[in-house]
């Protein structure tokens, strides 16, 4: 999440105002999946010092496992209710204008009818977001020559703008992207919505060739422009970010687990005796 936000900011195309961690439902069925009660607590401990990432329990609290598409749609609908505005998507952009104005251009009136004052404004929208969903993961679509309000996307400084458009993107590793190419694994209609309507931010794993992966799927090729690949930083290789490696390190008593997990999470795992075999 941190690396993805940094990358999106560096592109000059986006302002990320929040991130959501949504642990999967217990009935997902993955081998070794511990109770959502534990996973929620571990996620909350991991982001407890973040001022922009939050953990959302909705997915865990449902009666059964939810598809990725359903989870994205839930958060989109929640944002609609909270902000009172239409969220944009890639295929059918909303008529709600975007944050800020291009440089050296005179702002043009967006609404031409007599009900301008009743339209959502940034103050109204961001105020509601701040009250109820201050860490929702939203980004803005590309606008040429856009100037950042500040490098940290501090919402307090954008209140002077009268327009805002929100989007929700799926953040995933390249291993999930590659799973889109496995016949029958994903519902094609869901893939159309995930990639076409929402868009994806991909973090490569172990130098994965994301271009090759996308070329193996007609849907990924179709919506290639909606897929943003986070460029790796030589000083922070994303291949070390792995829940599998974290679990193996715990099982083997590997002290390098501190490279993957924060101390509060490690303490909770040890206290609850999670992922640790009899010899560990």
For residue range 251-276, what is the model confidence (pLDDT) as tens digits?
888 888 887 889 999 999 999 999 87
pLDDT per position as a tens digit, 115-153: 333 444 444 444 544 444 444 433 433 333 333 333 444
In this structure, the strands spanning 53-55 and 200-203 are unpaired
Q: Return the percentage of the chain with pLDDT > 90, whole number.
A: 43
Instruction: Give kind and range of the element (H or E) at residue 170.
Output: strand 170-173
Reduce the secondary structure of 15-76 to three states and give it as a string: CCCCEEECCCCHHHCCCCCCCHHHHHHHHHHHCCCCCCEEECCHHHHCCCCCCHHHHHHHHH
Q: Give the pLDDT confidence score for residue 160 in this predicted structure.
A: 36
- Name the strand (E) or helix (H) holding 172: strand 170-173
Give me the domains of the chain, ranges plus CATH numbers.
Answer: 164-260 (3.40.50.620)
Tokens of 252: 């083997």
Structure tokens at 95: 């008529």
Closest-CA residue to 82 (of 50, 116, 118, 120): 120
Instruction: Tell me which of 12-21, 90-99, 256-265 is least confident.
Output: 90-99
Checking 106-114 for CB contacts under 8 A at 24+ apart, the result is: 110/163
C-alpha separations of 152 from 9, 61, 119, 171 in Å: 9, 33, 27, 19
Q: Do the beta carbons of residue 156 and residue 186 sit within 8 Å?
A: no
Q: What is the pLDDT of residues 221-259, one digit of tens each?
A: 999 999 999 986 666 666 667 788 888 888 888 888 887
Q: Which residues pair with 148 in a beta bridge?
A: none
């Amino acid at each position: 999440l941190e690396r993805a936000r940094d990358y999106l900011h560096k592109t000059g195309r986006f302002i990320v105002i929040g991130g959501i961690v949504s642990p999967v439902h217990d009935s997902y069925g993955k081998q070794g999946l511990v109770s959502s009660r534990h996973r929620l607590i571990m996620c909350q401990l991991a982001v407890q010092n973040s001022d922009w990432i939050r953990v959302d329990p909705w997915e865990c609290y449902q009666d059964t496992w939810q598809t990725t598409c359903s989870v994205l749609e839930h958060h989109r609908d929640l944002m609609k209710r909270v902000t009172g505005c239409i969220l944009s998507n890639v295929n059918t952009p909303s008529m709600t204008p975007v944050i800020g104005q291009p440089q050296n251009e005179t702002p043009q009136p967006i609404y031409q009818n007599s009900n301008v004052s009743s339209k959502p404004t940034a103050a109204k929208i961001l105020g509601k977001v701040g009250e109820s969903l201050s860490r929702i993961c939203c980004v803005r679509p590309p606008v040429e020559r856009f100037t950042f309000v500040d490098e940290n996307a501090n919402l307090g400084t954008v209140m002077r703008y009268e327009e805002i458009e929100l989007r929700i993107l799926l953040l995933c590793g390249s291993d999930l992207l590659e799973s889109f190419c496995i016949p029958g694994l994903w519902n094609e209609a869901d893939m159309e919505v995930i990639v076409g309507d929402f868009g994806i931010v991909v973090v490569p794993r172990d130098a994965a060739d994301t271009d090759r992966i996308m070329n193996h799927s007609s849907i990924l090729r179709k919506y290639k422009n909606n897929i943003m690949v986070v460029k790796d930083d030589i000083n922070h290789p994303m291949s070390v970010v792995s829940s599998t490696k974290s679990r193996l390190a715990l099982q083997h008593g590997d002290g390098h687990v501190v490279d993957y997990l924060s101390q509060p999470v490690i303490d909770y795992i040890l206290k609850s005796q999670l992922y640790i075999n009899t010899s560990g």
